[in-house]
Amino acid sequence: MSEAFLYTNLIIFVGCFTQSLSGFGLALVTMSLLPSLIGLQTSAPLVAMVGLVLEIIMVVRYREVLQVKSISRLLIASLVAIPIGVIYFHKLDEKIALLVLGFVVILYALYGLIGFRLPDLKHTAWPWIFGFTSGLLGGAYNVAGPPVIMYGNSRKWPPMEFKSNLAGFFLIGSSVVTFTHWLNGNITSNVLSLFLRTLPTLLLGFVLGQFLDRWLNPELFRKIVLVLLVILGMKLMM
């Protein structure tokens, strides 16, 4: 067994564990580390397939608390905005756009971590705004997560609902991304073989995350999400 394969499994394990525990983080972990190890052309479709399987599992796991109504407007707005992001929004300077986004995410998370009460975004316009922003960023830069995570945190979704709603939202995006990779011939026999060999690692990361999830109270969970948002914001600004 090669050293690269062992490290690939370790990275996927950490990413799946993080996503299982918090509801997001797979792409944050894996796409920060895998491209330098196995190359972008292999890691991108691999992570897309891993994410698709993990999100299906999480939707099934939390199906009873999935609030379709909570994410329906987010999802519709996102799907409308994705092609706009692909066609137009990517023409903006990527470094400036991601720098601004990272700064906003960090500011929001630190605001919550230092003890201030985060605003509860109840107005019906907010899910359309956050969903549309997510679609723009996803279409242009493949970073659809932060707006939806921020919205869910501001709405104070309970941990299980938070994870289920995010999984439902990301499931659609992962399906589209995976299908696009397949259409473009990126899912080669090597990528498919690597994906099948990392499935046990995916399941182990999911199970361990679910086991530790039992010990998390809602306030601790919220703080973990905010800390991960700080890390995500820093990554966006790099």
Structural contact between residues 138 and 78, judged by C-beta atoms closer than 8 angstroms: yes
- Note the pLDDT of residue 228: 85
- Domain residue ranges of the chain, discontinuous segments joined by +: 3-237
Structural contact between residues 167 and 62, judged by C-beta atoms closer than 8 angstroms: yes
- Distance CA(77)–CA(136), nearest Å, equals 10
pTM of the model: 0.79
Q: Which of 86, 188, 198, 102 is nearest to 141 (CA)?
A: 86
- Note the pLDDT of residue 89: 65
- Note the pLDDT of residue 220: 83
38 φ/ψ sector (left φ>0, alpha ψ -120 to 50, else beta): alpha
- Distance CA(225)–CA(23), nearest Å, equals 9
pLDDT in tens, 109-157: 887 788 766 677 888 899 999 999 988 887 776 678 888 988 988 888 8
- Note the pLDDT of residue 125: 92
**DSSP label at residue 184:** T
Helix (H) or strand (E) holding 190: helix 189-213
- Note the pLDDT of residue 120: 79
Residue 194 main-chain phi, psi, to 5 deg: -65, -40
Helix (H, G, I), strand (E, B) or coil at 67: coil
Name the H helices within 39-115: 40-61, 68-87, 94-113
| Residue whose pair of structure tokens reads 């907010």 in the numeric block | 126
- Note the pLDDT of residue 94: 63
- Note the pLDDT of residue 63: 87
Tally the C-alpha atoms within 13 A of residue 219's C-alpha that lie toward its C-beta. Answer: 3
Helix (H, G, I), strand (E, B) or coil at 4: helix
- Note the pLDDT of residue 142: 66
User: End-to-end CA distance of the chain, in Å?
Assistant: 33
Residue spans of the chain under pLDDT 50: none
- Distance CA(102)–CA(106), nearest Å, equals 6
